[in-house]
Structure 1
Amino acid sequence: MPQPATPYPSVTTVGASSDTTSATTSATTSATTSDAVDDAVAGALEEEQAALDAAWSRRATVLDELEVTLTAARPEDAAARARIARLRARRAELRAADHGLVFGRLDGDDGSVRRLGRVGLPGATEDDEPLVVDWRAAVARPFYTATPVDPQGVRRRRHVRTRGPEVVGVDDEPLDGGLDDSGLVGEGALLAALDERRTGRMGTAVATLQREQDDVVRADARTPLVVQGGPGTGKTVVALHRVAYLLFAQPHLAERGVLVLGPSTRFLDYIAQVLPALGETAVVSATCDTLVPGVRPTRAEGRDVAELKGRSSWLPALRRFVASLEPDDGPLALALDGEEHVLSAAQLAAARRGAVGAGSYHQARERVTERVHELLVDAVADRQAELLARAEEGFEDVLGQLDARLAAADDRAVPTGATGSDVDGVLSESDLEALRVRVAADRGVAAALDAWWPRRDPAAELARLLRDADLLAAHATDLTAADVARVVAEPAGGEDGWSSSDVPLLDALADLLGDPLDGAGDETGEDTRDGVFVAARAAARRDWAYGHVVVDEAQELSGMQWHMVVRRCPTRSVTAVGDIDQASSAHRQTDWGEAVGDALGDRWRRADLTICYRTPREVMELTVPVLRRAGSRNAPPRAVRSAPVAPWRAETDERTWPAVVSDAVAGMAGRYAGGTVGVVAPTTRLAALRDTLPDGVPVLSATDAKGLEWDAAVVVDPDGITAEPRGWNGLYVALTRCTQELGQIAVL
Structure 2
Amino acid sequence: MTDSDHTTRADTAEVAREIAVEQAHVDLVYAELAKAQARAGLVEADGLARGRTDRTGDVRDEELTGLFERDALVFNAARRRSTLDTQYEGLVFGRLDLDHALSREGAPPDREVRYIGRLGVRDDDYEPLVVDWRAPAAAAFYRATPVEPMDVLRRRVLRCKGPDVVGVEDDLMVAEAPDDLVVVGDGALLAALTRSRGAQMRDIVATIQRHQDEAIRASARGVTEITGGPGTGKTVVALHRAAYLLYSDRRRFESGGILVVGPSSAYTAYIERVLPSLGEESVTLRSLGDVVDGITATRLDSPEVAALKGSLRIRRLLARAAGGRVPDAPQVFRAFVAGHAVRVDTPALDRIRSRVLRDRQRNLATKAVEAALAEAAWASVREGDRAEFMDRFDGHLEVEAFLQQWWPQVDPREVLLWLADPELVRRHGQGVLTPDEADLFAASMREALETGTWSVADAALVDDLAARLGTVQDAPSEERGFYEIEELDDVSQFGVAEVGPSAGSAGGAGSRTAPSEPRERLLHGRVEGPGEYAHVLVDEAQDLSPMQWRMLGRRGRYSSWTVVGDAAQASWPDAQEAARAREEAFGSQERRLFHMDTNYRNAREIFDYAARVVRAEVPDADIPAAVRETGVQPVEARTTAAEVAVAVRDAVEALLEDVEGSVAVVTPRRYAAQLADVDGAAGGRVVLIDPMSTKGLEYDATVIVDPPEITRESPGGIRVLYVALTRAAHRMTVLAVD
Please indicate, yes or no, whether the TM-score normalized by the shorter chain is above 0.5: yes
Superimposed CA distance per residue, residues 53-108 of structure 1 (whole angstroms, 9 cap, x where no aligned partner)? 33212222222222233331779799997886555443322211112222223325
Shift of residue 135, structure 1, vs aligned partner: 0.9
> Is 2:583 the counterpart of 1:584?
no
> Is 2:441 the counterpart of 1:487?
yes
Match of 1:643 in 2: 630
> Is 2:161 the counterpart of 1:163?
yes
Match of 1:267 in 2: 267
Distance 1:214 1:309 in 2: 38
Match of 1:422 in 2: none
Q: Give the one of 696, 701, 705 matched to 1:712.
A: 701
Distance 2:269 2:657 in 1: 26
- Partner SS state of residue 165, structure 2: strand
Shift of residue 546, structure 1, vs aligned partner: 5.1
- Specify the code of the residue in structure 2 equivalent to 1:570: R
> Is 2:565 the counterpart of 1:564?
no
Match of 1:314 in 2: 314
> Is 2:3 the counterpart of 1:54?
no
Match of 2:2 in 1: 9
Deviates more, 1:287-296 or 1:362-371: 362-371
Q: Give unpaired runs (5+ residues) of structure 2.
A: 52-63, 102-109, 178-184, 327-332, 344-350, 378-383, 477-524
Distance 2:680 2:386 in 1: 88
Match of 2:114 in 1: 114
Contact persistence 1:619–1:742 (CA under 8 A): yes
Equivalent pairs counted in the alignment come to 633
Contact persistence 1:225–1:574 (CA under 8 A): yes
Report percent identity of matched pairs.
36
Match of 2:483 in 1: none
Distance 1:686 1:468 in 2: 30
- Specify the code of the residue in structure 2 equivalent to 1:597: E
Counterparts in 2 of 1:133-152, with a 5 A limit?
A: 133-152=131-150
> Is 2:673 the counterpart of 1:687?
yes
Distance 2:365 2:42 in 1: 51
Q: Give the one of 72, 81, 90 matched to 1:100.
A: 90
Shift of residue 310, structure 1, vs aligned partner: 0.8
Contact persistence 1:549–1:574 (CA under 8 A): yes
Distance 2:732 2:674 in 1: 21
> Is 2:362 the counterpart of 1:361?
yes
Residues 78, 168 of structure 1: alpha-carbon distance in 2 compared, 3 angstrom cutoff: same
Q: Give unpaired runs (5+ residues) of structure 1.
A: 1-7, 11-25, 180-185, 327-331, 343-348, 377-382, 388-434, 521-538
Distance 1:449 1:608 in 2: 57
Distance 2:42 2:393 in 1: 57
Residues 658, 50 of structure 1: alpha-carbon distance in 2 compared, 3 angstrom cutoff: closer
> Is 2:192 the counterpart of 1:214?
no
Deviates more, 1:613-622 or 1:645-654: 645-654
Counterparts in 2 of 1:20-39, with a 5 A limit?
A: 26-28=4-6
Contact persistence 2:556–2:585 (CA under 8 A): no
Distance 2:687 2:564 in 1: 24
Distance 1:386 1:621 in 2: 83
Match of 1:618 in 2: 605
Shift of residue 562, structure 1, vs aligned partner: 2.1
Distance 1:694 1:220 in 2: 43
Shift of residue 509, structure 1, vs aligned partner: 0.7
Higher relative contact order (CA 8 A, sep 6+): 1
> Is 2:605 the counterpart of 1:607?
no
TM-score (norm 1): 0.71
Residues 316, 245 of structure 1: alpha-carbon distance in 2 compared, 3 angstrom cutoff: farther
- Specify the code of the residue in structure 2 equivalent to 1:204: D
Distance 1:475 1:32 in 2: 71
Counterparts in 2 of 1:518-533, with a 5 A limit?
A: none
Shift of residue 639, structure 1, vs aligned partner: 1.0
Superimposed CA distance per residue, residues 594-619 of structure 1 (whole angstroms, 9 cap, x where no aligned partner)? 67235335645543222111101111
Shift of residue 276, structure 1, vs aligned partner: 3.0
> Is 2:721 the counterpart of 1:731?
yes
Q: Give the one of 74, 80, 94 matched to 1:90.
A: 80
- Partner SS state of residue 730, structure 2: strand
- Partner SS state of residue 584, structure 1: coil
Shift of residue 448, structure 1, vs aligned partner: 6.7
Match of 1:457 in 2: 411
Distance 1:104 1:517 in 2: 54
Distance 1:625 1:591 in 2: 28
Shift of residue 738, structure 1, vs aligned partner: 1.5
Superimposed CA distance per residue, residues 168-191 of structure 1 (whole angstroms, 9 cap, x where no aligned partner)? 333343434499xxxxxx962222
Match of 2:653 in 1: 666
Counterparts in 2 of 1:465-544, with a 5 A limit?
A: 467=421, 478-480=432-434, 483-484=437-438, 486-488=440-442, 490-492=444-446, 498-517=454-473, 542-544=528-530
Q: Give the one of 731, 734, 737 matched to 1:741.
A: 731
Contact persistence 1:555–1:595 (CA under 8 A): no
CA RMSD of superposed structures (Å): 4.8
- Specify the code of the residue in structure 2 equivalent to 1:217: I
Contact persistence 2:422–2:439 (CA under 8 A): no
Shift of residue 249, structure 1, vs aligned partner: 2.5
Contact persistence 1:158–1:171 (CA under 8 A): yes
Counterparts in 2 of 1:68-467, with a 5 A limit?
A: 68-71=42-45, 72=47, 87-106=77-96, 107=98, 109=100, 111=110, 112-124=112-124, 128-177=126-175, 188-251=187-250, 252-255=252-255, 257-296=257-296, 301-315=301-315, 318-319=318-319, 322=322, 360-365=361-366, 443=397, 446-447=400-401, 454-464=408-418, 467=421
- Specify the code of the residue in structure 1 equivalent to 2:210: R
Shift of residue 656, structure 1, vs aligned partner: 5.4
- Partner SS state of residue 543, structure 1: coil
Q: Give the one of 533, 539, 545 matched to 2:531.
A: 545
Distance 2:9 2:554 in 1: 63
Distance 2:316 2:99 in 1: 58
Residues 490, 744 of structure 1: alpha-carbon distance in 2 compared, 3 angstrom cutoff: closer
Distance 2:122 2:299 in 1: 55
Contact persistence 2:257–2:282 (CA under 8 A): yes
Shift of residue 622, structure 1, vs aligned partner: 1.4
Residues 591, 385 of structure 1: alpha-carbon distance in 2 compared, 3 angstrom cutoff: closer
Shift of residue 694, structure 1, vs aligned partner: 8.0
Match of 1:526 in 2: none
> Is 2:528 the counterpart of 1:554?
no
- Specify the code of the residue in structure 1 equivalent to 2:559: R
Distance 2:304 2:291 in 1: 23
- Specify the code of the residue in structure 2 equivalent to 1:363: L
Shift of residue 645, structure 1, vs aligned partner: 2.7
Deviates more, 1:186-195 or 1:200-209: 186-195
Contact persistence 1:550–1:576 (CA under 8 A): yes
Distance 1:582 1:472 in 2: 34
Shift of residue 208, structure 1, vs aligned partner: 1.6
Asked which structure has the greater CA Rg, the reply is: 1
Distance 1:82 1:384 in 2: 64
Contact persistence 2:308–2:314 (CA under 8 A): no
Shift of residue 476, structure 1, vs aligned partner: 7.3
Distance 1:516 1:32 in 2: 68
